[in-house]
Amino acid sequence: MEKVFIGLGSNLSEPQKQLRSALAAMEEIPDCRLLRCSSFYHSAPIGPGEQPDYVNAVVELECALTPIELLDQLQTIEQAHGRERSVRWGARTLDLDVLLFGEQQLDETRLQVPHPRMAERNFVLQPLAELDPQLQLPSGERLQQLLQDCPQNRLEKF
């Protein structure tokens, strides 16, 4: 079983409700166990056009699936929540990102782990630090240093 961290985000169709529903769906993923979820956070949108603010969180799983098998499960959950992939970084009902998968480093067409932009996103780093403040990434970078170097971007815990 690998320790896995998943980032959750939504800014459409009742975002808090979307995240709660996604949590329930993640509890049903075979060969995975949802251990805990961070607090929910409001964050400013990143991406094109005018968008509503996001609600974000991070969950910790124990998982016996491969990274791609887990990605497939997460994308099925996104689709069940009405996710459309028409505009990159556009508004969305649900976004589920594999942030970390144990100590693995992957650079595949469909999946990069650690998530390639997590160091730039306080809406990922802050909830991640809530779950594991002493976390060290597979690259050796310390989460606390990444958090210290990251812009705040209107992040609010609620």
Task: Give the mean pLDDT of 16-37.
Answer: 97
* Residue 95 designated active-site: yes
Q: What is the pTM of this model?
A: 0.94
Long-range contacts at 101-104 (CB < 8 A, ≥ 24 apart) = 101/2, 101/4, 101/63, 101/67, 101/70, 102/2, 102/3, 102/4, 103/138, 104/2, 104/67, 104/138
- Residue of 97, 107, 110, 142 marked catalytic: 97
**pLDDT at res. 145:** 96
**pLDDT at res. 85:** 59
- Residue of 85, 95, 107, 121 marked catalytic: 95
- Residue of 20, 31, 33, 92 marked catalytic: 92
* Res 89 pLDDT > 60: no
Tell me how far apart the alpha carbons of residues 119 and 99 are, in angstroms, rounded to a whole number.
10
* Core vs surface per residue 2-36: b (16+ CB within 10 A) or e: bebbbbbbbbbeebeebbbbbbebbeebeebebee
* Residue 92 designated active-site: yes
Task: Give the mean pLDDT of 136-146.
Answer: 94
What confidence category does residue 84 fall into, taking pLDDT thresholds of 50, 70 and 90? low
